[in-house]
Amino acid sequence: MIQSQFVDSIDIESHPKRPGFLDLLGELRAPLEALAFPLRALRHSWPRSENGNRKTVMLIPAFMAPDLMLRPMARFCEWLGHRAEFCGIWQNARCPRVTFEQLEAKLREISDRDGSRVVVIGHSLGGVYARELAARDPERIERAITLGSPINAPLESCHRAVRALVDSMAALRGQREGCLTESCSCGVELTRRCTHAVPITVVYSRTDGIVHWESCIDRTGSDLVDHAEVMGSHVGMAVSADVFRIIADRLAMPRREARPPAA
């Protein structure tokens, strides 16, 4: 893992970049990354939950992906001693407004049940939703962790094949114009927030073949945001030993002040 500091020299919104064809081919290594996980995991001392530091983790899958894709991550979090919760997503391709309403309801359910803040982890588009949840309901969220999430010019920084898929799904809903952009009438803001009220960990890879890594960088300058670079594919982030190491370390951090009881 490489911790990185950034300046505002990257103007991704004025000059967005996309992954190329060779970058996309690199995504084929995702199964190898999964197979390599056990060997790489043996070399790390995993911080297990203890002394009442057990946290609840809410997992949000990537675009077009179901909850099932994050099952290895859920089992890992549970092995560390935490509780993992899925959002009931069979395919993350519905209208953002509808999906976000589902996520808000799930967050309220989990937080009110456990009486504590929730760690929200989102892969790709799921991470964009995680940031929005953190911005809208900070009292229910302990931390948000984004994995390869395009928070700057999302449609202009993803691979063209992914952009075509997004446009096709939006066209099927009759909402092609503006869908998944700032002008979308559904009201879900998908670009970076200017302020943060909860800690956010941004995980990115310069060898991401789906989303250009520069679009994942948070340049708000907030002290609550930290970046972590990994080497690997976009799809492989869901099974990466390096990503799991970052998640484990963040889950081991002390809790923020207890959340006020639900009214």
The class that CATH gives domain 2-6+27-251 is alpha beta
Distance between CA atoms of 249 and 184, rounded to whole angstroms? Answer: 36
Residues 6 or more apart whose CB falls under 8 angstroms from that of 20 comprise none
Q: Are 83 and 75 within 8 A, CB to CB?
A: no
User: Mind listing the pLDDT tens digit for each residue in 86-122?
Assistant: 999 998 878 788 888 999 999 999 999 988 999 999 9
Judge contact between 215 and 191, C-beta under 8 A: no
Give the mean pLDDT of 61-83: 94
For the stretch 161-177, pLDDT in tens is 666 666 666 666 555 55
∠ CA 13-4-22, rounded to 5°: 60
Is residue 187 exposed (0-12), middle (13-18) or buried (19+ Cβ within 10 Å)? exposed
**At 191, is the pLDDT very low, low, confident or very high (cuts 50, 70, 90)?**
low
pLDDT digits (tens, 9 = 90+) for 132-171: 999 999 999 999 999 999 988 777 777 676 666 666 666 6
Query: What's the predicted TM-score (pTM) here?
Result: 0.85
